[in-house]
Amino acid sequence: MTALLEYAGVHAFYGNSHVLRGLDLCVAPGEIVGLLGRNGAGRSTALKAAMGLVEARGAIRLGGDDILGLKPFQIARKGLGYVPESRDVFPTLTVEQNLLLGQQPGRKDFGAACWHIDDMYGLFPRLRERARTQAGVLSGGEQQMLALCRTLMGNPRLVLVDEPTEGLAPQVVGRVAQFLVALQSRGVAVLLVEQKLAIALEISQRLYVLGHGRTVFEGTPDDLRANAEVRKEWLEV
């Protein structure tokens, strides 16, 4: 398998806290890969390591280029998008202003779809209705839609998405899942951290389970469904 994003022996730290302990994983072009595990397993840290937001060592490659050690804006310009769990919309700017801030006009195309603001409104019509509204007064679901779409405006070839359905109403959860599948249909790969096992099993082609900062399982959704031991030891409460 040709890897678009590859982690090789990655260690990551928060000060003296050693979180990732030799992580290996990869994401192929146009693939949705789920990253599962209990709280504290290192899932969010894995995304932050790729985005240059935590101290890390080892190798992380995007399209064959080592990105470990680059600044976040340099990594973003290479085609890696990131949607944090905290969403981080600009609260005093309108929905449309948030989207336009995500745009990277003039950047060379990496083969993924080129996205425009009308695409965002097509994916989430509610954002068109709220285009002139300050992002800080949006509901949690609307802010999640905005965060996802703002990242897409940078035309990434792969998107790191951290807990996109956390705290959302069931109908919004379904829309977010459909959105991620729509990305894949237009050639954008996704590395997804998701607490809701059913969502990850439904939309991912492959899954990794982390435990104590390492990969303890790699396989398809069917492989994980069939592996009660892994689910019991590393996922179930």
Q: Which residue has the tokens 């096992």?
A: 197
For residue 162, name the pLDDT band (cuts at 50, 70, 90): very high
- Residue 224 is predicted with a pLDDT of 97
pTM: 0.93
Burial of 228 from C-beta contacts in 10 A (0-12 / 13-18 / 19+): exposed
**How does pLDDT run across 75-86, given as a tens digit for each residue?**
999 999 999 988
Find the mean pLDDT for residues 155-171: 91
- Residue 212 is predicted with a pLDDT of 94
- Residue 2 is predicted with a pLDDT of 87
In a domain, 60, yes or no: yes
In a domain, 183, yes or no: yes
CATH code of the domain covering residue 78: 3.40.50.300
For residue 215, name the pLDDT band (cuts at 50, 70, 90): very high
> Which stretch of DSSP H or E encloses residue 40?
none
Cα(214)–Cα(11) distance, integer angstroms: 9
11 or 170, higher pLDDT: 11
Closest CA to 62 of 48, 51, 53: 51
Amino acid letter at 144?
Q
**How does pLDDT run across 11-42, given as a tens digit for each residue?**
999 999 999 999 999 999 999 999 999 999 99
Is beta strand 5-14 parallel, antiparallel or unpaired with respect to 17-27? antiparallel
Cα(193)–Cα(181) distance, integer angstroms: 15
- Residue 111 is predicted with a pLDDT of 53
Domain that holds residue 227: 5-86+157-234
- Residue 227 is predicted with a pLDDT of 96
Amino acid letter at 220?
T
pLDDT value at 62 more than 70? yes
Cα(98)–Cα(96) distance, integer angstroms: 5
Find the mean pLDDT for residues 54-82: 96
For residue 112, name the pLDDT band (cuts at 50, 70, 90): low
Closest CA to 48 of 24, 28, 19, 79: 19
Q: Which residue has the tokens 């005093």?
A: 92
Q: HSE (CB half, 13 Å, CA atoms) of 208? A: 21
**How does pLDDT run across 115-125, given as a tens digit for each residue?**
889 999 998 99
- Give the list of residues 6+ apart from residue 19 with CB closer than 8 angstroms, or none: 12, 13, 42, 45, 54, 213
Chain mean pLDDT for the chain: 92
Residue 168 in 3-state DSSP? coil
Number of domains the chain contains: 1
For residue 236, name the pLDDT band (cuts at 50, 70, 90): confident
**How does pLDDT run across 130-146, given as a tens digit for each residue?**
999 999 999 998 999 99
pLDDT > 70 in the chain, percent = 95
In a domain, 194, yes or no: yes
pLDDT value at 109 more than 70? no
- Residue 208 is predicted with a pLDDT of 98
**How does pLDDT run across 177-201, given as a tens digit for each residue?**
999 998 899 899 999 999 899 999 9
- Residue 33 is predicted with a pLDDT of 98
In a domain, 133, yes or no: no
